[in-house]
């Protein structure tokens, strides 16, 4: 089928803002050179070898560790919330989804800034604590604050995919399991949970990917004391001016994310083709 002319603007848009930037990142990651533009570049793998330095590997490990923790916490919090919403009547369900989505309409940066006024040394939480006669707590500029920011910002990305799967589960399957003598735990473990696995995998992907590459949350709530992989890329591009090393880190992260997506997609396909529930 011939391509319609109306698709040409979208193709041009993708070439200019997706293909060309990715090509430039690839070019800079596999080259080194002095100032003077791309004409003085020469092929090299030094940028990738440089990333094998233990201090950069530590940054990668901290980023993955925090991303895994935030993904696990959002799943533990998000699954029950998705179940509660899915069991409500349509009218009430829509209101609950709206309340969950409304904070996402606000700018990501502003949502993160709001936590500064809550967690700060003179913030609202410490104000209440001191009024109760206790010493103020150190709630900000640590890994717990960064983790809290990740969970808060990415929780809807876990809830919505799980909810969209749970709400489509055929109620007759649950009724059949109950008629066969299954209790609530057995219904959940053998019917509801297996059928919701595609939503869980989608939620894990949607939370883990932005969490492992975030830099705004760690910069604001970590107070610059936490260097995550996203902060490292930002630093190389904006402050150090080493676009070659920054591009190499970006390529490594892209490869890591693609491998993770391939693993989760394969696991999802295995579950979908696994046959019966029991």
DSSP secondary structure string, 224-276?
A: T----HHHHHHIIIIII--HHHHHHHHHHHHHHHHHHHHHHHHHHHHHHTS--
How confident is the model over 248-258, as a mean pLDDT? Answer: 91
CATH number at residue 57: 1.10.3720.10
Query: Do residues 59 and 34 both lie within one domain?
Result: no
Contacts of 35 (CB under 8 A, 6+ apart): none
Query: CB of 120 within 8 A of CB of 141?
Result: no
How confident is the model over 190-207, as a mean pLDDT? Answer: 92
In this predicted structure, the answer to whether residue 167 has a pLDDT above a threshold of 90 is: yes
207 occurs within a structural domain: yes
Query: Do residues 107 and 235 both lie within one domain?
Result: yes
pLDDT on residue 277? 44
86 occurs within a structural domain: yes
In this predicted structure, the answer to whether residue 85 has a pLDDT above a threshold of 90 is: yes
pLDDT on residue 33? 76
In this predicted structure, the answer to whether residue 35 has a pLDDT above a threshold of 60 is: no
What confidence category does residue 122 fall into, taking pLDDT thresholds of 50, 70 and 90? Answer: confident
Query: Do residues 19 and 105 both lie within one domain?
Result: no
Contacts of 257 (CB under 8 A, 6+ apart): 209, 212, 213
278 occurs within a structural domain: no
Percent of the chain, pLDDT > 90?
57
Q: Which helix (H) or strand (E) holds 42?
A: strand 42-43
What confidence category does residue 52 fall into, taking pLDDT thresholds of 50, 70 and 90? Answer: very high
Contacts of 145 (CB under 8 A, 6+ apart): 115, 119, 139, 221, 222
83 occurs within a structural domain: yes
The Cα–Cα gap between 270 and 249 comes to 32
In this predicted structure, the answer to whether residue 36 has a pLDDT above a threshold of 70 is: no
What confidence category does residue 226 fall into, taking pLDDT thresholds of 50, 70 and 90? Answer: confident
- Could you tell me which residue, 240 or 276, shows the higher pLDDT? 240
Query: Do residues 36 and 83 both lie within one domain?
Result: no
pLDDT on residue 26? 93
CA 112: distance to chain centroid?
15
The Cα–Cα gap between 59 and 235 comes to 13
How confident is the model over 220-248, as a mean pLDDT? Answer: 89
- Among 4-13, 29-38, 187-196, the range of highest mean pLDDT: 187-196
pLDDT on residue 278? 42
What confidence category does residue 63 fall into, taking pLDDT thresholds of 50, 70 and 90? Answer: very high
Query: Do residues 113 and 218 both lie within one domain?
Result: yes
Query: Do residues 192 and 212 both lie within one domain?
Result: yes
Query: Do residues 91 and 185 both lie within one domain?
Result: yes
Hey, is 31 helix, strand or coil? strand
Query: CB of 180 within 8 A of CB of 125?
Result: no
Average pLDDT, rounded, for the chain? 88
Query: Do residues 85 and 132 both lie within one domain?
Result: yes
Model pLDDT for residues 107-117, shown as the tens digit of each residue: 888 899 899 88
Model pLDDT for residues 138-147, shown as the tens digit of each residue: 889 988 999 9
Least confident of 4-8, 46-50, 70-74: 4-8
Domain count, the chain: 2
What confidence category does residue 274 fall into, taking pLDDT thresholds of 50, 70 and 90? Answer: very low
Query: Do residues 75 and 133 both lie within one domain?
Result: yes
Beta-bridge partners for 43: 31
- Could you tell me which residue, 79 or 276, shows the higher pLDDT? 79
pLDDT on residue 60? 92
What confidence category does residue 38 fall into, taking pLDDT thresholds of 50, 70 and 90? Answer: low
Query: Do residues 14 and 109 both lie within one domain?
Result: no
Query: Do residues 37 and 120 both lie within one domain?
Result: no
What residue numbers bound the domain in which 23 lies? 1-44
Query: Do residues 112 and 211 both lie within one domain?
Result: yes
How confident is the model over 70-94, as a mean pLDDT? Answer: 94
In this predicted structure, the answer to whether residue 275 has a pLDDT above a threshold of 50 is: no
Residue 131, Cβ density class (10 Å: 0-12 exposed, 13-18 middle, ≥19 buried): exposed
């Amino acid at each position: 089928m011939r391509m319609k002319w109306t698709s040409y603007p979208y193709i041009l848009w993708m070439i200019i803002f997706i293909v060309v930037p990715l090509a430039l990142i690839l070019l800079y990651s596999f080259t080194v050179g002095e100032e003077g533009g791309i004409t003085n570049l020469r092929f090299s793998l030094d940028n990738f070898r440089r990333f094998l330095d233990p201090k950069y590997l530590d940054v990668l490990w901290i980023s993955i560790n925090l991303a895994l923790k935030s993904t696990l916490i959002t799943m533990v919090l998000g699954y029950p919330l998705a179940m509660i919403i899915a069991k409500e009547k349509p009218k009430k369900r829509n209101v609950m989804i709206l309340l969950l989505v409304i904070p996402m309409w606000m700018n990501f940066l502003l949502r993160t800034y709001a936590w500064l006024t809550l967690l700060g040394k003179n913030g609202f939480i410490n104000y209440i604590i001191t009024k109760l006669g206790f010493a103020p707590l150190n709630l900000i500029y640590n890994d717990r604050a960064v983790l809290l920011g990740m969970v808060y910002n990415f929780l809807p990305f876990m809830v919505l995919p799980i909810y969209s799967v749970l709400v489509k589960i055929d109620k007759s399957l649950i009724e059949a399991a109950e008629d066969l003598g299954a209790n609530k735990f057995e219904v959940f473990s053998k019917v509801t949970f297996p059928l919701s696995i595609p939503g869980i995998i989608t939620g894990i992907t949607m939370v883990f990917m932005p969490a492992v590459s975030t830099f705004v949350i760690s910069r604001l709530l970590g107070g610059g004391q936490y260097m995550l992989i996203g902060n490292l890329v930002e630093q190389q591009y904006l402050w150090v001016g080493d676009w070659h090393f920054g591009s190499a880190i970006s390529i490594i992260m892209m490869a890591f994310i693609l491998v993770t997506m391939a693993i989760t997609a394969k696991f999802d396909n295995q579950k979908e083709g696994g046959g019966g529930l029991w």
